[in-house]
Amino acid sequence: EAQVTQNPRYLITVTGKKLTVTCSQNMNHEYMSWYRQDPGLGLRQIYYSMNVEVTDKGDVPEGYKVSRKEKRNFPLILESPSPNQTSLYFCASSSAAMNTEAFFGQGTRLTVV
Amino acid sequence: DQQVKQNSPSLSVQEGRISILNCDYTNSMFDYFLWYKKYPAEGPTFLISISSIKDKNEDGRFTVFLNKSAKHLSLHIVPSQPGDSAVYFCAAKRGSNYKLTFGKGTLLTVNP
């Protein structure tokens, strides 16, 4: 089954404690990205990756890092989380073909206290 | 600057009637548009899309209309069902750029 898997689904952490949210896709997609969803703001892109070792900032990259060492994995790293990073996070992947849709993971609900 | 706008945060319709969700965009370089549906506690799922070379695309109960001159698209759901109750996101992309730009979403409630 084609899917994007995120872990964990829920996470409560304290300010400043480094954390990683993992994302893995089994569709051999080149393009992967991270979004955050906040009330009244919709989905905003954090970082994206065009392929292995190729990453770039999205619209709201501050406070986040990513890496793309393997095609299937695209972890999101919060080196020093702050309460304003409390949000719902989604990982997505899509192929390099034109006019194709992106597939989303189930989401990670992060609370930073 | 918000390039994709969904000006109605919510919409309520009766079961069996038509639901019309609207989306406006400002970037004339966008040439591919998608609608996603999102249930609580789940990720967005792809619903239907349309290329800028078309003005209509239909898939079962779902039809998307594109008016390029007005930079406007709409999603029609006929007939609406209670299971359609969800947040609907409009998204746009341009050319070979993979980035999707999303609207803020519209919460659709279909009442039995």
Q: What percent of chain A is predicted at pLDDT more than 70?
A: 100
The pLDDT value recorded for residue A13 is 95
pLDDT band at A99 (very low <50, low <70, confident <90, very high): confident
Which pair of structure tokens corresponds to residue A4? 């994007």
Per-residue pLDDT averaged across A98-106, rounded? 87
- Which residue positions in chain B have pLDDT lower than 50? none
Name the minimum distance, in Å, from the CA of A16 to any CA of chain B. Answer: 26
List, as own/partner pairs, every contact residues B58-63 make where C-beta atoms lie below 8 angstroms and the sequence separation is at least 24, other chains included: B62/B35
Chain B residues touching residue A44 (CB < 8 angstroms)? 102
| Confidence at residue A100, expressed as pLDDT on a 0 to 100 scale | 80
- Would you say B94 and B51 are in contact if contact means Cβ atoms under 8 Å apart? no
Task: Name which of A20, A47, A44 is nearest A31 in CA terms.
Answer: A47
Task: Pick the residue from chain A with its C-alpha nearest to B51.
Answer: A99
Q: Among A51-60, A81-90, B71-80, B91-100, which stretch is predicted with the lowest mean pLDDT? A: B91-100
Among chain B residues, CA nearest to A41: B104
pLDDT the model gives residue B5: 96
pLDDT of amino acid B2? 82
Q: Which residues of B touch A35 (CB under 8 A)?
A: 102
pLDDT, position B98: 78
Chain A: residue whose CA lies nearest to B42? A106
The answer, for A105 touching chain B at a CB cutoff of 8 Å, is yes
Quote the pLDDT of residue A98. Answer: 73
Question: Taking CB atoms and an 8 Å cutoff, what residues of chain B touch A61?
Answer: none
At residue A80, the pLDDT reads 97
Q: How far apart (Å, rounded) are the C-alpha atoms in residues B90 and B107? A: 12
| pLDDT at position B96 | 72
User: B91 exposed, middle or buried (CB, 10 Å; 0-12, 13-18, 19+)?
Assistant: buried
How close does chain B come to A110, measured CA to CA in Å? 13
| Mean pLDDT of all residues in A90-109 | 90
Burial of B92 (0-12, 13-18, 19+ CB in 10 A): buried
Do B99 and A44 count as a contact with CB atoms less than 8 A apart?
no
Question: Which contacts (CB < 8 Å, 24+ apart) does range B92-96 have?
Answer: B92/B3, B92/B4, B92/B25, B92/B27, B92/B30, B92/B32, B92/B33, B92/B34, B93/B30, B93/B31, B93/B32, B93/B33, B93/B34, B94/B27, B94/B29, B94/B30, B94/B31, B94/B32, B95/B29, B95/B31, B96/A98
Q: Does B99 touch chain A (CB under 8 A)?
A: yes
Q: Does A96 touch chain B (CB under 8 A)?
A: yes
Stated as kind and residue range, the H or E segment containing A104 is strand A103-104
pLDDT exceeding 90 applies to what percent of chain A? 87
User: C-alpha angle with apex B29: A54 to B104, nearest 5 degrees?
Assistant: 80
Q: Which residue has the tokens 């990205």?
A: A33
